[in-house]
Structure 1
Amino acid sequence: MLIKKTHLTIALLTTFSSFYLQAAGFQLNSQSATGLGRAFSGDAVIADNASVMAKNPAAMTLFKTPALSLGLIAINSDINIQNTTITSPTPAGIMSFPVENASIGDASYVPNIYYIHPINEQIAIGASLYSNFGTVTKFPDNYGENLPGALKNSADIYGGTTEVKSINLGLSAAYRLNEQFSLGAGVDIIYGHGKFTRGRGLSTTLPSSLTGTTNLVDIDADGFAIGFNLGAVYEINENHRFGLSYRYSPTLEADGDITYIPNAAQGKPFNLNNEKLKIPLPDMIELSGFHQLNNKFAVHYSIQWIGWDSFTRLATTDGTVIKEYQWQNGWHYAIGATYYLNEKWTLRTGYMYDTSAQNQLTSISVPDSDRNWFSGGFTYHLNAHSNIDFGITYLTGKDINVTELSTGAPQLNATTHADAWLYGLQYSLTF
């Protein structure tokens, strides 16, 4: 019995880890509506409102009075799964059967809040609450019900429902060394929560002792972790400056309520609570620049490195290696411009090229690919101390050929394509 439980734990955690990491691989920036309108170009140093502390704590020294920003990002993803087949042994040999196309995109809503408080001309402190993840994908009920015989609904072993939400509470401080240099640091308290279902509809083929069981896998798990971030700002003068930041991302340990049916012939599901999985999150480094060319026009840019190669493998807290991964480091390259139309209106635009985190291993549950971001937005100044920002981005990916295989399950092949619209609204105030 002990051996069976050990094998069950490994199989289950492998499945859960895939769900969580692929959500991270489909990471969407959601720190502010202002940044969204310029494809987050220059975001680690522009400091046009308090949301800059999400990218670089050192930029808080650029504020002379307290600043508050409140915002919401809506993410509407359009994910299509096409040319799908299930391949499995049959009495006639290895055969492939087509699976209906699926549209699995959904909407996520990601709020954020930032507050910066200058203590004096040299020191500023701040607090923030925002999210780095807001992914939802839902396959149709009984995905693969057109498959014949025992293969009916088996495609849902790779489909199902995936929901990931996270909250990042940040506490930061910054110190101005002189007119040119500022340094900053912060602590990140990260809460992650996920829901995961697989194998819906397969319960119709299970023995009567499993009546009432609707999913082969049903997970509701969460966890906390602590990270930190460091930043620096160099100001040539008030019109030209650079920002550099580093974010250390921790290993998050997730546990919760888990129901899993490893073998229908055993006649009962297993409930495994409080099993923990070590999930290493990627470190990030960002370099940004801002240049006010004249009183009407500014340009800004960013390069961000994301350390996805930390996903070489996943393991349990007792050191058991669950599965090897072949993730690759990611990059963001962004450039944008801001036009100060008049005292009431500021216009902005930007473009980003965002490289995929996935390499050899791919998935239909949350597809990943290189992406192009096309962004625009504006600020409307209500008065000298408050404004409203709006940003919009169209994100488009590439077609990816996916092959998935799980122990004891048929092989799935498909082509995935993921696009998304992001909309941001924000209110900012200085005191």
Structure 2
Amino acid sequence: MKKVMLKTTLSLAIGMVSTQVFASGFALNEQSISGMGTGFAGRSSSAEDASTVFGNPAGMSRLKRQQVTGGMAAIDAKTDISDARGNRPGTNKGDMVPFTAVPMGFYVKPIDDHWAFGLGVYAPFGLITDYEKSFQGRNFGSKSEVKVVTFQPTVSYAFNDKVSIGFGPTFNRISGNLESALKTRYSPNDGSVQIKGDDIGYGYNIGILVQATDTTSVGLTYHSKVSYTLNGHTQIEAGAGTPSQVLKNARYDASLAIETPESADFSVTQSLTDDWKLYAGSTWTRWSRLKDITAENKGVTAATGGALAPTAFTTITEEQNWHDTWAYALGTSYQLNKQWVLRTGLSFDQSPTNNTNRSPRIPTGDRTIFSLGAGYSPTEDLTIDVAYSYLKEEAVNINRTNTLGQNYSAKYENSANGFGVGATYRF
């Protein structure tokens, strides 16, 4: 029985790899509102504004004026849960993703004809899922909240008017608060397991941008992996009425090692006419690094007693076996007049999960995303961008059993609406 609670604690860590957002796994795409309008097609081959610090740092050399770009994307997700079964009673409302906002901000300053400097603050990864307390599958995950915030100073260099490169180190802070219900045959009521932790990790982004012809530009951007070891604590709360000789409240020092994956974005921007542009791109993400999740708990500060008492140092590993993914996007923009540009895009994004290991914390499948956007420039110094995206995932099935003999299976169908607003000011 010693492994029961640590196994539950480990399942909390797995919450770090699930969310219903506009990129696969727990990645976020929302670093540009102008890019959101074209479904992020052409993200590494065009430099529309200062958000190119993330999209392709080489694009900073294309911006001839000092500028600031900021914005926020909001995500309204919905999940339909059907055919739910399990040996515990409960509800399956499916509204576990609250209305969520993702902010971003960028700055670029041209230094001379060759060099440019930029700064970016954005969220490359993150999630929040919060099931109702009576959720039938609460023993396999009840709440997850993970945030990654990145600060990126960046430089770019233009060799000539055809080829430029860019590089920026990234300083990344991750924090997590993950919970799950705890129910044993000794407990008449639910207890809970909660793990909190944070860490700082380091990586880099690098890109190249080539003006292949007068009407065609090609870009390639690489975002490195980042390694973290979240240090914090695991808190176990016994359910009301649990015999003290079986389980008491306990607190452990805890650590969890995880890597956010590297990715490569290749895209092409083609000017069809003076007003029409066509964008195409593909992104590869190395999710196959996530073979398993390993949690370590040690340093008991309160006795739990009885048959469920943990050891002072225990490591438990649970397999995930994620696979690498590809995303594809096609978009277009039309310069309606001097003030207005209209955008649209269509994206296809693979899910890294598999049918064997999928859980209520990772209920995602392959997704299709349709996007619309517009940019309004009342003056040459100011552009206001808006965007809307609709995401629809394929239906996926979950079938889970734990070491206590509890089980849960269900069919999940996820969808989401995304709204973005941003502005660029040039000076």
Q: Decide: shared fold, TM above 0.5.
A: yes
Q: Equivalent residue for 1:290?
A: 269
Q: Please, which moves more after superposition, 172-181 or 350-359?
A: 172-181
Given residue 342 of structure 2, which amino acid in structure 1 is its aligned partner? Answer: L
Q: 2:247 aligns with which of 235, 245, 267?
A: 267
Q: Deviations over 1:68-93 (max 9, x none)?
A: 10100101111222211114xxxxxx
Alignment partner of 1:344 out of 339, 342, 345:
339
2:17 touches 2:362 (CA, 8 Å); kept in 1? Answer: no
Task: Using the TM superposition, give the Cα deviation of residue 203 of structure 1 relative to its aligned residue in structure 2, in angstroms.
Answer: 9.8
CA drift of 1:100 comes to: 3.5
- Structure 2: distance between partners of 1:283 and 1:358: 17
The answer as to whether partners of 1:305 and 1:331 remain within 8 angstroms in 2 is yes
- 2:309: which partner in 1? none
> 5 Å matches for 1:350-429?
350-359=345-354, 360-429=356-425
> Higher helix proportion, which one?
1
Count of aligned residue pairs for this structure pair: 401
Equivalent position of 1:193 in the other structure: 175
1:101 aligns with 2:92: yes
**CA RMSD in angstroms, aligned pairs only:** 2.5
Give the unaligned 5+ runs of structure 2.
297-312
Q: Percent identity?
A: 25
**Cα shift at 1:33:** 1.2
- Please name the residue that 1:47 is paired with: 47
Distance 2:353 2:236 in 1: 27
Correspondent of 2:161 among 161, 176, 179: 179
SS in 2 for 1:216: strand
Q: What is the rounded CA distance, in whole Å, between the counterparts of 2:90 and 2:314 in structure 1?
A: 38
Alpha-carbon distance in 2 for matches of 1:312, 1:402: 19
Does the 8 Å contact 1:82/1:102 carry over to 2? no
User: For 2:123, which of 131, 136, 145 is the aligned residue?
Assistant: 131
CA offset digits 1:354-404 (Å, max 9, x no partner): 000101311223421100000001001020111100000000101101111
Deviating 4+ runs (over 3 angstroms): 7-10, 97-100, 202-207, 261-265, 315-321
Q: Determine if contact 2:14/2:293 at 8 Å carries over to the other structure.
A: no
Residue 315 and residue 156 in structure 1: after superposition, are their counterparts in 2 closer, same or farther (change >3 A)?
Answer: closer
Distance 1:53 1:258, change over 3 A: same
Q: Cα offset for 1:98?
A: 7.1
Letter in 2 for 1:344: Q
- Residue 113 of structure 2 corresponds to which residue in structure 1? 121
Q: Where do 5+ consecutive residues of structure 1 fail to align? A: 88-96, 145-154
Equivalent residue letter for 1:136 = I
The reply on whether 1:243 has 2:219 as its aligned counterpart is: yes
Deviation of the 1:12 alpha carbon: 5.1
Alpha-carbon distance between aligned partners in 1 of 2:346 and 2:110, rounded to the nearest angstrom: 32
1:260-300 deviation digits (Å, cap 9, x = unpaired) = 25895533122113x21110211100101111111110001
Q: Is the 8 A contact 2:9 2:194 kept in 1?
A: no
Aligned mates of 1:297, 1:162 — CA distance in 2: 43
Q: Which residue of 1 aligns with 2:301?
A: none
Find the aligned partners of 1:47 and 1:115 in 2 and give their Cα distance: 13
**Aligned partner of 2:207 among 220, 225, 231:** 231
Instruction: Give 1:133 shift.
Output: 3.1
> Does the 8 Å CA contact 2:70/2:423 hold for their aligned counterparts?
yes
2:322 counterpart residue number: 327
Range with greater deviation from structure 2 (124-133 or 347-356): 124-133
CA–CA distance in structure 2, aligned partners of residues 78 and 44 of structure 1: 30
Give the CA deviation at 1:194.
1.9
Amino acid of the structure 2 residue aligned with 1:349: T
Residues 18, 127 of structure 2: 8 Å contact kept: no
Task: Name the amino acid aligned to 1:391.
Answer: A
Query: How far apart are residue 158 of structure 1 and its match?
Result: 1.9
What is the one-letter code of the residue matched to 1:139? Y
User: Could you tell me which amino acid in structure 2 is paired with residue 73 of structure 1?
Assistant: A
Q: Does 1:257 pair with 2:236?
A: no
Letter in 2 for 1:249: K
Amino acid at match of 1:272: Y
Contact 2:28 2:123 in 1 (8 A): no
> In the alignment, what sits opposite 1:90?
none
**Is the 1:137–1:366 Cα contact (8 Å) retained in structure 2?**
no
Say whether the 8 Å CA contact 2:177–2:195 is kept in structure 1. yes
